[in-house]
Structures are given as C-alpha cells and as structure tokens.
C-alpha cells in the first residue's frame, strides 16, 4: 500500500487542528478530515456563510483565530468529508471517506483520532416531539445560524451548559420560560474551590447568572423535567423535585410549565466509535466521561501508530484539548 500522507487526523476541532499544525511544523505530510464545512469543532463552530455580520463572542474570536492559524499551516484540509471505514495493514492506515466529490480512500502511515464528544440526553416521555432539542444541538443553532429553538423555551438538564444556553437564547431575542437544573445550589457551592483554577470561566458563569436574574428567569434547582406534552409540537413540560440521585421525590408536587420548545441535556460523553473501529482498547473512566481509549500521556493507544486526543480521549474541555 502506498502512502499519500505521513499522518491523517480525523476531526478538525481544537485538538485535531492543533495536532495538524504541530505535525506540519515537523514537516509531516498531513491531511485533516472533518464532516463540517469549516474547522472549529462544536465549541469554535463557524457561522453560516448566510450570516453577513454577527456580534463578537469569545467562541467566535477564538474560532476565527484558530481557522486563520490552520489556513497558514501546510495541511491539506478535507472538509465536508465523512470517514466511514478505518483499516490497518502494511504498518499503515487506509480510510474510506465520502466527500462532496464522491467516495475515496486516504492512506497514511499514522492516524490521530480527535473525534470530540457527543451529547448525552436521558429520555423522558415526549422527548421525540418536534420542538425538543439537545443542549449541544442548541449551541450549534446559536453559533452557526444565530437562531433560537422557539419563542418560549424551557432549558433543562445539568451542568454549566444549561446556563450558557439560557443566556444565549435571551441574547438572541428569545424567551426562557424556565431553567430546570438537576443540580442543587449546594452542588455548585461545593464545586467553587475547583472552579477558582479558572477565574475567567468563573466570572463568565457569574455573568450568565446575573443575566438570568435581570431577565427574571425562574430557576428550578434540583428539579427534573419528567414529561413533555403536546399534540404536534411541545406545549408543556411537567417538572418535579428530585433527590441527590436525580430520582423524583416521593409525593412531591408537580409543576406544569407552558413552552413551545425544550432544550434538554445531561452532559457529554467521549465519542469513541472511530477508536473502536480502529481496534484500540477502551477502559471505563467515570472521571473522564465514560468509555475512553486506553492511551499514554502522549495519546498513543494500544494500536501502533494510532493516537487519540481531545475530548474523544476524555472530557476535559476546550482549554485542555489543544
């Protein structure tokens, strides 16, 4: 098998893009493959070409800078390209890909998988109604299309993404009917010492909370959406208090909230399908988000010439991904 490239990198988010830039600096013939039309991944997702102007945000500034750096590197970037097959032979790799021009194969001596994370949503009755969208899916709408999920949205689930999504809906002119957080105030208070390691993010979180307070958005702490109702679309959601295991409290009163859309999400898990397809050993690491490839500190997996990096190797966030 002849090799077109020294290194193939799957995923053009912060980790994959940084790996491509580093490889190019060492003179390696490098190809970067990604399904999206532009590099940046989920966090630094580029705006649609249909948007002529948009207010600057930290993610937009970082993403534009990142794409500028990548454009200046000696890297072949194959956008809108899906990797559907990974095969190892002759001490190298062959990738089956589907691109706008059709099916093709890419061969390389080494392979880096930077497949990022995927959203975790715990199903509830009614979650398949039109108008229900994941929290991460909502952020894609904001960043790429600058639109909100509906006119009156319930934002429910856990973690900091909950408050980011709610404040972005407000910033883009939507209304947030309620924020429904599985976490309690005490959960966040206990996390404060760890969060002081990133004062910039801590201050940003405080800004989100102040924005919600100014808008008069109700926050249901330690509550869960247990049912979403409607005929052809979302009309209401039923919310109940939960215990520390997120189970509904026995005998607790239900609250019915009117809405035409629900953003629902319960964190992220590493996207390990590509690593599994490539034959890498996996291990369950709850502190890293679940199943992750077994890898050393350099990202070398159990398979020779196969590396994993970014959130696909463990949920650590965009700051650590690069």
- pLDDT band (50, 70, 90) for residue 275: very high
Q: Tell me: pLDDT of 49 over 80.
A: no
Distance CA 82, CA 115 (A): 12
Distance CA 52, CA 205 (A): 29
Straight-line distance from the first to the last Cα atom of the chain, in angstroms, rounded to the nearest whole number: 32
Which tokens hold the place of 166? 């709610």
Distance CA 10, CA 112 (A): 6
Distance CA 309, CA 3 (A): 23
Q: Note the pLDDT of residue 1.
A: 47
Helices (H), 72-184: 135-140, 161-171
In terms of C-beta density within 10 A (0-12 exposed, 13-18 middle, 19 or more buried), how is residue 256 classed? exposed
Residue 322: how many other CB atoms lie within 10 Å: 17
Helices (H), the chain: 14-25, 58-71, 135-140, 161-171, 185-195, 199-215, 273-277, 318-321
235-253 residue pLDDT tens: 999 999 999 999 999 989 9
134-161 residue pLDDT tens: 999 999 998 888 899 999 999 999 999 9
Find, among 114, 119, 118, the residue nearest to 15 by Cα. 114
Kindly report the length of the chain. Answer: 322
Q: What is the 3-state secondary structure (H, E, C) of 41-82?
A: CCCCCCCCCCCCCCCCCHHHHHHHHHHHHHHCCCEEEECCCE
Distance CA 183, CA 30 (A): 43
pLDDT over 70 percentage in the chain: 98
Q: Is 296 in contact with 284 (CB distance < 8 Å)?
A: no
* Least confident segment among 46-50, 185-189, 273-277: 46-50
Average confidence (pLDDT) over 219-248: 96
Q: Note the pLDDT of residue 68.
A: 93
Q: Locate tokens 């102007």: which residue?
A: 53
DSSP assignment letter at 300: B
């Amino acid at each position: 098998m002849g090799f077109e490239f020294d290194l193939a990198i799957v995923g053009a988010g912060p980790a994959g893009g940084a790996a491509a830039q580093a490889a190019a600096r060492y003179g390696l013939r490098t190809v970067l493959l990604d399904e999206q039309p532009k590099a940046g991944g989920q966090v630094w997702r580029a705006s649609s070409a249909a948007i002529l102007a948009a207010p600057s945000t930290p993610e937009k500034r970082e993403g534009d800078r990142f794409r500028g750096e990548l454009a200046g590197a000696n890297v072949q970037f194959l956008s809108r390209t899906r990797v559907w097959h990974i095969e190892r032979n002759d001490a190298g790799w062959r990738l089956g890909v589907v691109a706008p021009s059709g099916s093709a194969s890419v061969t390389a001596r080494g392979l880096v998988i930077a497949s990022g994370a995927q959203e975790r949503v715990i199903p509830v009755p009614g979650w398949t109604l039109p108008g229900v969208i994941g929290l991460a899916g909502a952020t894609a709408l904001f960043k790429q299309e600058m639109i909100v999920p509906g006119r009156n949205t319930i934002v429910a689930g856990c973690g900091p993404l909950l408050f980011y999504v709610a404040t972005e809906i407000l910033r883009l002119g939507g209304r947030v009917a309620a924020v429904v957080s599985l976490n309690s105030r005490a959960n966040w208070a206990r996390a404060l010492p760890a969060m002081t390691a990133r004062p910039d993010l801590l201050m940003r979180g405080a800004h989100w909370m102040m924005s919600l307070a100014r808008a008069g958005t109700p926050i249901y702490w330690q509550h869960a959406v247990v049912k979403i109702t409607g005929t052809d679309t979302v009309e209401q959601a039923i919310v109940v208090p939960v215990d520390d295991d997120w189970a509904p409290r026995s005998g607790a009163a239900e609250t019915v909230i009117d809405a035409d859309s629900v953003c629902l999400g319960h964190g992220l898990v590493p996207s390990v399908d590509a690593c599994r397809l490539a034959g890498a050993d996996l291990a369950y690491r709850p502190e890293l988000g679940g199943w992750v490839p077994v890898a050393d500190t350099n990202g070398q997996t159990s398979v020779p010439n196969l590396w994993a990096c970014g959130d696909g190797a463990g949920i650590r966030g965009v700051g650590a991904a690069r």
